[in-house]
Structure 1
Amino acid sequence: SVVVLCLGEEAYCETPGNITDLTLPRAQINLAQALQKTGKPIVLVLAEGRPRLIREIEEKTNAILAAFLPGMEGGAALADILSGDANPSGKLPITYPKYANDLTLYDHKFSEHTGEFQAYDPQFPFGYGLSYTTFAYSDLKLQKSTIKKGDAQLVEVTVKNTGKRPGQEVVQLYLTDLVASVTPAMKRLKGFQKIALAPGESKKVAFTLRPEDFSFIGREHKPVIEPGEFKVAIADLAQTFVLE
């Protein structure tokens, strides 16, 4: 048997929903820990309008379904996913924090990622999400190793469904400006596409990085594009190119 445990908070709006601590109520944490001691698999459903902290119970939870505030038809949607009739394919639109005082975002700067006590260590990173199938990425290619100011850059990657079920995957492209006159972000989401794949099927996914994608807000508080080296990352693959 499996325990489906729904924790979180009631629906709310604006000021009536204000709280001072993202930690789940202690009674909910105690309930989860008591159920974990039974040894039965735990599927945790989080009904919440913000990322309530689950650090104390996440490790011994077998699966987590982020329902957020699902609305009137949320129950039917949850039933479809929990029963396996629907294959989840969503990705987190937020960085899910592990600690109350650590709200570092995915696009934080290099200078915010130094030392033991300034490491980027979320519960789940921005863009994270699992499926009932698995996907493999390969053959990340850039059209050019060097481009000129005003040029676009074509990026291609191959995605394969390596599992036994049809599924959908959100392919995410991140760009990093490795050196800039203003400390750049660790990475920035510059493109995403959702594709459907049958078991064993592969698809090539293409993105076009346009000149404005290489810009950042400079010291004069205006968008600027500077020459230098950029890194393109998709899943665990990465390639670099030079903007002259």
Structure 2
Amino acid sequence: VVELFHEILFSLVGTNEPATVNIGEKTYEEVDVTTTPYLGKLQTYAEAYIVSDKTFEELKSQGSLIYIYNYRLENPGNIEASKPWLQELAQQGEEGMTGVSYTEDSLNEDSYIRVTYSLCLFMFVTLMLAAGSIIFLKIGNEAYEDRERYEILEKMGISRKTLGKAVRNEICFAYYCPFLLMTISSYFSVRALGEVMQEDLIQINVWSALFVLALFSLICFLSVRGAKRKLFARNG
């Protein structure tokens, strides 16, 4: 048999491994689990299995036959306008044999996902900007303290071009070393989160790392320019 299961966004338990199920006096092996919503919202609240035609004929006498027709509106906002037509379909059937069930909660059931995603995105951008700003301010303050040291090195005969390269390399290390550590640690943390959510989050991890790289590169460029102006302003 194939179990009809509903999609799970987040779970702290393991994945649904194929198992066995008892129907009547027989035990059947689950060969697969699918989250395709063949039964619509009913699939979320009831246990359902797909069986072969032969197995269905064997089990048909042990239960009642129910015929289900699912309609998915292209525009869920028009559900109120569609209710009279659906009620008319129900009245055309035999009494006690036909009914209509409306499922409207799907319109807002993913709203918390959008809110959580927006909040996490805002926190991510805020933390990255805060980290870049802290490094930027730290380098700016240190540039004033190191001005005299670079002046002494320049008087000793070291060219300003060489000193400029040293400043650039030192500042780039201050930005890209944390970025490298963040990228390595985030790979394992995002991979673990993907295992819990049963989703492939590698692409999100890559795009996030590229965003941080671009942000740090921009702030690093500004830091290098600012540091050079502060260090070599007196003799410029």
Please say whether Structure 1 and Structure 2 have the same fold, judged by a TM-score greater than 0.5.
Answer: no
Identify, as 1 or 2, the structure richer in helix. 2
Bigger radius of gyration: 2
TM-score by length of 2: 0.21
Q: Which has the larger share of strand? A: 1
Q: Which has the higher contact order (CA 8 A, sep 6+)?
A: 2
